Chain A
Amino acid sequence: MRINLRNMHDNQAGTIASVKVAGELGRRLRDMGLVPGTEIKIQGRAPLYDPVALRVMGATLTLRNNEADYIEVEVE
Chain B
Amino acid sequence: MAPTVALAGNPNSGKTTLFNELTGSRQHVGNYPGVTVEKKEGTYVRIHDGFRLHIVDLPGTYSLTAYSLEEVVTRDFLVNQKPEVVINIVDASNLERNLYLAIQFLEMGIPICIALNMIDVAKKRGIKVNAQKLSFLLGVPVTPTVARSGKGKKELMDSASQIAREPHQLTPLKISYGADIDPVLSEMEKEIADRHFLTDTYQARWIALKYLESDQQIISKGQKVNPDLSSRLKEMVRKVSHHLLNTLDTYPEAMIADQRYGYIKSILKQGVIHHKYDRNRLYSSDRIDKVVTNRFLGPLIMLAVIAGLYHFTFTYSGLPVGWLENFFDWLGSTLSAALPEGMLKSLIVSGIIDGVGGVLGFVPLIMFMFFGIAILEDSGYLARVAFMLDRIFRIFGLHGSSVMAFIVSGGIAGGCAVPGVMATRTLKSPRERLATLLTVPFMNCGAKLPVFALLIATFFAKYEAAIMFLITLGAWAGALLVAKLLRVTVIKGAATPFVMELPPYRMPTFKGLAIHTWERTWQYIKKAGTVILGLSIVLWAMMTFPGLPESKIREFETLRQAETSRVPFAIAAELEAEQEGAELSGPASSLKEKLQRIDAAEAEAGLRNSIAGRIGGALETVSKWAGFDWRTNIALVGGFAAKEVVVSTLGTAYSLGEVNPEETGSLSETLARDPGWSPLLAVGLIVFTMFYSPCFVSVICISRESGSWKWGVFAMAFNTVLAFVLAVLIFQIGSAFGLLVN
Tell me the smallest distance from the CB of B339 to a CB of chain A, in Å.
60
CB of A57 to closest CB in B, whole Å: 5
Majority secondary structure, A binding face: mixed
- State in angstroms the CA–CA spacing of A38 and B100 once bound together: 14
| Complex: chain B residue closest to A50, CB-CB | B391
B299 contacts which of A24, A47, A50, A60 (Cβ < 8 Å)? A47
Determine the distance from Cα of A28 to Cα of B67 in the docked complex, in whole angstroms.
9
Nearest-neighbour CB distance to chain B for A25, whole angstroms, equals 5
Tell me whether B295 and A47 are in contact (CB under 8 A): yes
Cα–Cα, bound, A35→B279 (Å): 17
Find chain A residues with CB under 8 A from B501 CB: 32, 59-62
- Which of A25, A26, A46, A56 contacts B293 (CB under 8 A)? A46
B94 touches A57 (CB 8 A): yes
Which residues of B451-509 are within 8 A (CB) of A? Answer: 496-502, 504
The answer to whether the Cβ of A74 comes within 8 Å of any Cβ in the partner chain is no
Q: Give the shortest distance, in Å, between A6 (CB) and chain B (any CB).
A: 14
CB neighbours (8 Å) of B279 from chain A are: 39, 57-58
Q: What separation, in Å, do the CA atoms of A18 and B290 have in the docked complex?
A: 29
Which residues of chain B in 46-80 are interfacial with respect to chain A, using CB atoms and an 8 Å cutoff? Answer: 62-63, 65, 67
How many chain B residues touch A (Cβ–Cβ < 8 Å)? 44
Give the Cβ gap from A44 to chain B, nearest Cβ, in Å. Answer: 6
The CA-CA distance from A30 to B341 in the complex, in Å, is 71
Question: Of all chain B residues, which has the CB nearest A43?
Answer: B286
Minimal Cβ-Cβ distance residue in A for B67: A24
Nearest to A38 among chain B residues (CB) is B261
Q: Does A29 contact B (CB under 8 A)?
A: yes
CA distance A26 to B497 in the complex (A): 9
Q: Can you list, as one digit per residue, whether each of B367-404 has a CB less than 8 Å from chain A (1) or not (0)?
A: 00000000000000000000110111010000000000
Scoring A57, A63, A67 by chain B CB atoms within 10 A of each residue's CB, the highest score goes to A57
Contact B257 A51 (CB under 8 A): no
Evaluate contact between B280 and A26: CB separation under 8 angstroms: no
Interface residue from B65, B254, B388 paired with A47 (Cβ < 8 Å): B388
Asked if B394 contacts A64 (CB within 8 A), the reply is: yes
* In-complex Cβ contact of A24 among B62, B94, B391, B497 (8 A): B497
Is the C-beta of B253 less than 8 angstroms from some C-beta in chain A?
Answer: yes
Minimal beta-carbon separation of A46 from chain B (angstroms): 5
Picked from A22, A51, A60, the residue with its CB within 8 Å of the CB of B251 is A22
Please name the 5 residue pairs, one residue from A and one from B, whose CB atoms are nearest each other, closest first: A48-B391, A31-B62, A30-B257, A31-B63, A60-B502
Q: Which residues of A pack against B, CB within 8 Å? A: 13, 18-20, 22, 24-33, 35-39, 41, 43-44, 46-51, 53, 55-64, 67
Residues in chain B within 8 A of chain A (CB atoms): 62-63, 65, 67, 93-94, 96-97, 100, 125, 127, 249-251, 253-254, 257-258, 261, 279-280, 286, 289-290, 293-296, 298-299, 387-388, 390-392, 394, 496-502, 504
- 20 further A-B contacts with Cβ under 8 Å, apart from A33-B261, A61-B500, are A25-B497, A26-B251, A30-B63, A33-B100, A36-B258, A39-B280, A51-B390, A51-B498, A53-B502, A56-B97, A58-B127, A58-B279, A59-B94, A60-B286, A60-B289, A60-B502, A61-B501, A62-B498, A63-B498, A64-B390
User: What are 9 residue pairs bridging A and B, where the CB atoms are less than 8 Å apart in the complex?
Assistant: A24-B496, A28-B67, A31-B100, A32-B501, A44-B293, A57-B97, A61-B502, A62-B387, A63-B498
